[in-house]
Amino acid sequence: MRILSGITSSGECHIGNYFGAMRQHVRLQGEGEAIYFIADYHSMTVVRDAAERRRLVREVALDYLACGLDPARAILYRQSDLPEVCELTWILGSVTPMGLLERSHAYKDKVAQGLPVDHGLFAYPVLMAADILIYGSDIVPVGQDQKQHLEMARDMAQRFNHVYGVEVFRLPEPHILEGVAVVPGTDGRKMSKSYDNTIRMFWPQKQLRKAIMGIVTDSTPVESPKKTDTTLFQLWSLFATPDEREEMFERARAGGLGYGEVKKDLLARLLDTFGPMRARREELAKRPDDTEDVLADGARRARALGAPVVAAAREAAGLGPAR
């Protein structure tokens, strides 16, 4: 079973990335042939500074390795090290209806917000489809809110196969990541780099404390009962067992539990959970060449898997001399 997923290097990874994807990616590397890429092509719609883009790629790579991704069991590579994906993007784009792209949630959200939209954002789903289809992936781990991207990739694959009468592209199936739907940010909205409401796994303790103490709460007195479907309790629940959640929620409903106590406990749990990973990351950061070697080797292995698919697409479309 071939597994494919990626993460955009448009900012530093946060606990939303970890609970929403990275943790599951690490687990899945033991269940099949796992391929993970750091999407620096995708980041070009957001990041406009070359040095910052390269820095963010290194940060994401370090985070993945610190969280337990094993280069001996999974492929980790930088997206731009495989320019073949851009060729495949054009090949797929040539058979992709405009209407399909106009229905993209990300595109429609930007338009609704009145934000400027460029071709990169509009064609984003085609590049994503190329990322997915280039390896003949069997499954793609996605959150429920990302399922549309995979459905669009399947539509493009089917259209290409139909237009050229050759079954070049395999239709991958979604693997819906269970456990966490949407991780809230410190302001209650979805945790996102673009909202500046994130909690970074590997921030210094002082910065982590500031972020957690800044989580928005209401003015309910300590002695009064409290609702448990709030941002603070949702974040705290990520680090608690079912029994611990039930006990804490009962205390909240009964009254006498202060938000400050919950925040302090959340900080302690966060530091404890990511402590061993933090130590690994600090050691990895001392050897930057090792991380670059992991990405280069990952690109070599990924190219070996993707080259036959690109060659088949070129042959089907009549690109280059006949074989």
Q: Is 229 in the same domain as 293?
A: no
Please state which of the ranges 82-86, 124-128, 143-147 shows the lowest mean pLDDT: 143-147
Q: Mean per-residue pLDDT for 131-145? A: 88
Asked if 163 and 196 touch (Cβ cutoff 8 Å), the reply is no
- H/E run at residue 174: strand 173-176
For residue 116, the model assigns a pLDDT of 82
Q: Is 211 in the same domain as 171?
A: no
Q: Is 166 in the same domain as 62?
A: yes
What residues contact residue 266 under an 8 Å CB cut-off, 6+ apart? 212, 232, 235, 236, 239
How many structural domains does the chain have? 2
CA atoms within 13 A on the CB side of 107: 18
Name the residue with higher pLDDT: 69 or 111.
Answer: 69
Scanning 79-123, the segments in alpha helix (DSSP H) are: 84-93, 98-102, 105-112, 119-122
In a domain, 190, yes or no: no
> Residue 96 is part of which domain span?
2-183+288-317
Q: Is 89 in the same domain as 228?
A: no
In a domain, 62, yes or no: yes
Q: Is 87 in the same domain as 225?
A: no
Q: Mean per-residue pLDDT for 89-113? A: 92
Q: Is 32 in the same domain as 132?
A: yes
For residue 146, the model assigns a pLDDT of 75
Does pLDDT of 77 surpass 90? Answer: yes
Closest CA to 202 of 17, 26, 35, 70: 17
Does pLDDT of 232 surpass 90? Answer: yes
Q: Edge-to-edge strands of the sheet including 74-78?
A: 74-78, 33-39, 2-8, 139-142, 173-176
For residue 178, the model assigns a pLDDT of 64
Q: Is 113 in the same domain as 228?
A: no
- Would you call 64 exposed, middle or buried from its count of C-beta atoms within 10 A (0-12, 13-18, 19+)? buried
CATH number of the domain within which 20 lies: 3.40.50.620
For residue 107, the model assigns a pLDDT of 87
In a domain, 188, yes or no: no
CATH number of the domain within which 243 lies: 1.10.240.10
The per-residue pLDDT for range 12-70, each reduced to its tens digit, is 999 999 998 899 999 999 899 999 999 999 999 989 999 999 999 999 999 999 999 99
In a domain, 197, yes or no: no
Please state which of the ranges 66-75, 116-125, 137-146, 287-296 shows the lowest mean pLDDT: 137-146
Q: Is 270 in the same domain as 148?
A: no
- H/E run at residue 319: none
In a domain, 25, yes or no: yes
Q: Is 237 in the same domain as 304?
A: no
For residue 181, the model assigns a pLDDT of 59
Asked if 85 and 128 touch (Cβ cutoff 8 Å), the reply is no
In a domain, 293, yes or no: yes
In a domain, 196, yes or no: no
For residue 180, the model assigns a pLDDT of 56
The per-residue pLDDT for range 166-208, each reduced to its tens digit, is 999 999 998 876 655 579 999 999 898 878 999 999 999 999 9
Q: Mean per-residue pLDDT for 107-129? A: 89
Residues classed as catalytic: 110, 190, 193
Q: Is 152 in the same domain as 222?
A: no
Does pLDDT of 129 surpass 70? Answer: yes
The per-residue pLDDT for range 264-302, each reduced to its tens digit, is 999 999 999 999 999 999 999 999 999 999 999 999 999
Q: Is 155 in the same domain as 9?
A: yes
Q: Is 169 in the same domain as 231?
A: no
In a domain, 109, yes or no: yes
CA distance 251 to 44: 47
